[in-house]
Amino acid sequence: MRIAVVGTGGVGGYFGGRLASTGADVSFIARGAHLAALRSNGLRIVSPKGDAHVPNVTATDNPRDIGPVDVVLFTVKLYDADAALALLPPLIGPATVVLPLQNGVDGIDIVMRAVGREHTVGATCYVSALISEPGVIRHTAMDHLLFGELDGSRSARLERLFEACRRTNFQTTLSVDITVDIWTKFTRLSVLSGMTAVTRSPVGVIVNDPDLFEMLKAAVAEAVAVARAKGVAVRADMVDDTARAYQALPYQTKASMLVDLENGRRLELPWLSGAVARIGREVGVPTPIHTFIATVLKPLINGTA
């Protein structure tokens, strides 16, 4: 099985690197100093689950150097997704599947515009990882990759990917209801991203402050109400389940949006709390906390660097 990673940041670098470390045929699309480091020193992962080093990786900024593959992990940020669609066609063969691993709930529609429904599957992930320096991915918490056919079937093509992932040490789920999984992740991440960014604090600060923790749980309830109004059957106990999950995270865990904010980069805000507020308006569900988060962070959407 040949795998290409489009966007070798924290998500693509971590999952692609773990696959490559087990001997999988993985090619990475990157740019700039990160690309140069991958070519000269390989890919390193620093992780509490064990470090890894893949000394010889195929890395390029031109997908034509790779050609058609079996699986594409499409892991660019949402604000770069439309521009990155031009990288996909050279990677697409008759049976290629593309896994959109963007945050939010818009990734499937974005990818489908470029490659069609037959090459698009649903996917999401839970991972806290980033590029700590060129060629190095620092992983701090969570590493769960979920994917599934849009119609809920168990296909041979995803069974093969599932088997490849099972040889790694990250958690993998071959889902039969990936829409619910995507919305569940969206609900959780929109809250984690919004709350850590608006407070400029890691999750430990929030869960240990009674007022902030109640605000976090209320924000989860807003997103759950929006999902259910959209007809997505997210779990009824998501508020308590998400609260427990965030209490279990390492104290210093930060959403990638907070890391982007701290580094003056663009924010995925319009697709996270902004999307909860937008979709809430469409379905008639009040979202005061997400609306507040989207409003006060709005001046920083395009970054300050």
Contact predicate 289/215, CB 8 Å:
yes
Mapped onto helix, strand or coil, the DSSP state of residue 150 is coil
Please provide the average confidence, as pLDDT, over all residues in the chain.
95
Reply yes or no on whether the pLDDT at 297 is more than 90.
Answer: yes
Residues with Cβ within 8 Å of residue 85, at least 6 apart in sequence: 110, 111, 113, 114
Q: Rounded mean pLDDT of 154-164?
A: 96
Q: What's residue 115's pLDDT?
A: 97
Q: In angstroms, rounded to a whole number, what is the distance separating the alpha carbons of residues 270 and 144?
A: 24
Q: For residue 116, what is the enclosing H or E element?
A: none
For residue 157, give the nearest of 72, 89, 97 by alpha carbon: 97
Higher pLDDT, 253 or 218: 218
For residue 177, give the nearest of 154, 145, 143 by alpha carbon: 154
Reply yes or no on whether the pLDDT at 230 is more than 70.
Answer: yes
| Top-tier CATH class for 180-300 | mainly alpha
Q: Give the residues across from 191 on adjacent strands.
A: none
- Let me know if the fold of 2-176 is the same as that of 180-300: no
Q: Rounded mean pLDDT of 205-229?
A: 97
Q: What's residue 19's pLDDT?
A: 98
Reply yes or no on whether the pLDDT at 33 is more than 70.
Answer: yes
Domain ranges across the chain? 2-176, 180-300
Reply yes or no on whether the pLDDT at 305 is more than 70.
Answer: no
For residue 274, give the nearest of 247, 295, 259 by alpha carbon: 295
Q: What's residue 42's pLDDT?
A: 98
Output the six-digit token pair for 67: 């050609």
Among residues of the chain, what percentage have pLDDT more than 90? Answer: 92
Reply yes or no on whether the pLDDT at 137 is more than 90.
Answer: yes
> Whole-prediction pTM value?
0.90
Q: What's residue 114's pLDDT?
A: 94
Please give the CATH number for the structural domain made up of 2-176. 3.40.50.720
Least confident of 17-26, 222-231, 250-259: 250-259
CA-to-CA dists, residue 171 to 13, 49, 92, 260, 273, angstroms = 16, 12, 26, 26, 27
pLDDT digits (tens, 9 = 90+) for 168-210: 999 999 999 999 999 999 999 999 999 999 999 999 999 999 9
242 alpha carbon, distance to own chain's centre: 17
